[in-house]
């Protein structure tokens, strides 16, 4: 009986490869950007014995993405439900959770950076490289600028940012998860929400 790794793909597809070890660090496998995860199993697909052709010793699934608990999602849901009417009333297309001011409109001189792996967005403020008294730097308790975008400008992270379109789409999606029987979820690198089994593992990448 041989050991195989099953790589989970978008759209409920998977690819199986024969391996010599269940230690992922020994295999040298290069996963694709949207691969959702992997698991191992033993099988003899060419056996004359029907039972041996079945999968045995199936491991837990390791997912690539971000894990969320039902409690965490319930808090996000409450926040988004509160933000929607405010954004609609004030015609705010995108807001940022500023560490000093809380949720406020994103200003023209600020910009959003999308972290594609988790579909998370963060807003940054630009400031001249030689300006060490920028109020945003002081407001973030001395946190160093994260990115130097040119010889003249750097930028610093202000916090999470969301658009009205994003919030409107996410509320029913998250509501469905909160109403489900599962307590743990993963948002995979391709943006899919999946329920986690008790032994499943999430690799935050």
201 versus 133: the higher-pLDDT residue is: 201
Q: Would the pLDDT of 179 be above 60?
A: yes
pLDDT at 151: 53
Q: Are residues 106 and 205 in the same domain?
A: yes
Q: What is the mean pLDDT of residues 154-165?
A: 76
Provide the whole-model pTM.
0.74
Average pLDDT taken over every residue of the chain: 82
Q: Would the pLDDT of 138 be above 70?
A: no
Domain containing 91 equals 66-205
Q: How many percent of the chain have pLDDT more than 90?
A: 55
Residue 127, SS3 per DSSP: strand
Q: Are residues 108 and 173 in the same domain?
A: yes
Q: Are residues 139 and 72 in the same domain?
A: yes
Between CA 143 and CA 106 the distance in angstroms is 20
Number of domains into which the chain is organized = 2
Q: Are residues 145 and 111 in the same domain?
A: yes
**14 vs 34, 114, 152, 177, CA distance in Å?**
12, 28, 48, 24
Q: Are residues 72 and 29 in the same domain?
A: no
Q: Would the pLDDT of 157 be above 50?
A: yes
Q: Count CB atoms within 10 A of the CB of residue 186.
A: 24
176 versus 115: the higher-pLDDT residue is: 176
Task: List phi, psi (to 5°) of 187.
Answer: -100, 110
Residue 97, SS3 per DSSP: strand
99 versus 21: the higher-pLDDT residue is: 21
pLDDT at 45: 86
Following CA atoms 42, 48, 49, 51 in sequence, which dihedral angle do they give, to the nearest 10 degrees?
A: 50
Q: Are residues 105 and 22 in the same domain?
A: no
pLDDT at 154: 58
Q: Are residues 50 and 71 in the same domain?
A: no
Contact call for residues 14 and 58 (beta carbons, < 8 A): no
Q: Are residues 189 and 110 in the same domain?
A: yes
59, 81, 96 - which closes a domain: 59
Q: Are residues 148 and 116 in the same domain?
A: yes
Instruction: Using pLDDT thresholds of 50, 70 and 90, give the confidence band for residue 108.
Output: confident
Axis crossing angle, helix 164-178 with helix 70-90, rounded to the nearest 10: 150
The alpha helices in 91-179, defined as continuous H runs, are 135-139, 164-178
Residue 52's region, left for phi above 0, alpha for psi from -120 to 50, else beta, is: alpha
26, 59, 92 - which closes a domain: 59
16, 43, 59 - which closes a domain: 59
Residue 122, SS3 per DSSP: strand
């Amino acid at each position: 009986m041989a050991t195989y790794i099953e790589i989970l793909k978008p759209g409920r597809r998977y690819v199986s490869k024969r391996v010599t070890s269940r230690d992922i660090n020994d295999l040298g496998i290069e996963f694709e950007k949207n691969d959702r995860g992997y698991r191992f199993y033993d099988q003899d697909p060419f056996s004359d014995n029907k039972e041996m052709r079945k999968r045995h010793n199936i491991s837990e699934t390791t997912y690539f993405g971000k894990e969320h608990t039902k409690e965490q999602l319930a808090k996000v849901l409450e926040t988004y439900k509160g933000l929607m009417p405010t954004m609609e009333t004030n015609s705010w297309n995108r807001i940022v959770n500023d560490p000093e001011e809380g949720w406020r409109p994103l200003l023209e001189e600020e910009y959003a950076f999308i972290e594609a792996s988790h579909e998370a967005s963060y807003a940054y403020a630009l400031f001249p490289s030689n300006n060490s008294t920028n109020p945003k730097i002081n407001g973030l308790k001395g946190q160093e600028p994260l990115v130097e975008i040119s010889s003249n400008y750097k930028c610093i992270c202000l916090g999470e940012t969301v658009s009205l379109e994003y919030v409107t789409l996410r509320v029913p999606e998250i509501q469905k998860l909160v109403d489900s029987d599962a307590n743990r979820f993963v948002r995979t690198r391709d943006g899919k929400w999946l329920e986690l089994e008790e032994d499943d593992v999430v690799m935050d990448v």
